[in-house]
């Protein structure tokens, strides 16, 4: 998906919508709720490519920041002061990196797709946890220590997202050839 076409805009909009839907499919856990956002942000990068995947996630982010309640806990510009906003920023970067890694191989293996997804996972959690720590401790005066941050923002949340890495890899491996075939048609 290289050209700026109507088809690419439709796919970007579709993935923006899927991310919104994934936001509302959630399992409540303390601090950072588990949602399917991660699955759809990774699929956006894998299936649309790094640039278009990141654009679709950025569109989702802009929708939330202008006030459309698409984030896990609402929307609005004030959301940048929520400690969990770092994960949303991470989704954009991770979708780009995952897509670029996927695109770097002509015929990516399932193993390479998993490596790409785990790179995205590391980006999301790295950015999310750093942002959470900075906002909590220095901006909104809701201090959190390193151990509670690691426990609530990583250990409790990452097992589900590791499973989603596998789901995204299998789905991308099956769907990407179909998208390539439809490009030619």
* pLDDT value of residue 73: 84
- Per-residue pLDDT tens for 87-126? 999 999 999 999 999 999 988 999 999 999 999 999 999 9
> For the chain, give me the number of helices (H) and strands (E)?
7, 2
Instruction: Note the pTM of the prediction, 2 decimals.
Output: 0.91
DSSP string, 84-105: THHHHHHHHHHHHHHHHHHHTS
- Report the pLDDT value the prediction gives residue 31, as an integer from 0 to 100: 60
List of the chain residues with pLDDT < 50: 1
Indicate the angle between helix axes 50-65 and 37-48, nearest 10 degrees.
140
């Amino acid at each position: 998906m290289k050209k700026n076409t109507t088809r690419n805009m439709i796919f970007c909009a579709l993935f923006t919508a899927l991310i919104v839907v994934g936001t509302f499919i959630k399992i409540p856990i303390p601090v950072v709720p588990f949602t399917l956002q991660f699955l759809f942000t990774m699929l956006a990068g894998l299936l649309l490519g790094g640039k278009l995947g990141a654009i679709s996630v950025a569109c989702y982010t802009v929708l939330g920041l202008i006030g459309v309640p698409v984030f896990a806990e609402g929307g609005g510009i004030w959301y940048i002061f929520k400690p969990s906003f770092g994960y949303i920023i991470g989704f954009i970067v991770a979708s780009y990196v995952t897509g670029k890694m996927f695109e770097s191989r002509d015929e990516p293996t399932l193993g390479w797709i998993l490596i790409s997804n785990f790179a995205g996972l590391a980006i999301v959690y790295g950015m999310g946890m750093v942002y959470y720590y900075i906002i909590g401790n220095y901006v909104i005066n809701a201090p959190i220590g390193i151990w509670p941050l690691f426990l609530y923002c990583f250990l409790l949340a990452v097992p589900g997202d590791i499973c989603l890495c596998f789901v995204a890899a299998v789905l991308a491996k099956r769907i990407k050839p179909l998208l390539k075939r439809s490009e030619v048609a």
